[in-house]
Amino acid sequence: MKHEYDLFEKFPDGSSLWCDSVPGFETTRLRLRELAQKSENKFYAIDLTTGEVLVFPRNAMRPDSRQFEQLQDEAAELLRR
């Protein structure tokens, strides 16, 4: 089963902007890499099935655990609203 992901750009002021919705982890990773080439900001994805947050720092297109935890908390807060 392919999961759907919503992709977000994270700005220095802490705000986020929805960028796209894509199917599958590999497509998500590739799309976030594409977005990261056009911006100095960080990016993350939320799995719409599980609510899991995947963080993709601009310089390393792999999850970063510290940022993952922070963004996971922020995403959980957004979903509660």
Question: For residue 14, what is the DSSP state?
Answer: S
Q: What is the pLDDT of residue 62?
A: 47
The pLDDT of residue 61 is above 80 = no
Q: Give the largest CA-CA distance in the chain.
A: 36
The tens digit of pLDDT for each residue in 65-81 reads 555 566 666 666 666 65
Token pair in block for residue 44: 């993350």
Token pair in block for residue 52: 């899991």
Global pTM? 0.69
The tens digit of pLDDT for each residue in 25-53 reads 889 988 988 898 888 888 999 999 998 88
Q: What is the pLDDT of residue 11?
A: 93
Cβ neighbours, 10 Å, residue 79: 9
Q: What is the pLDDT of residue 19?
A: 95
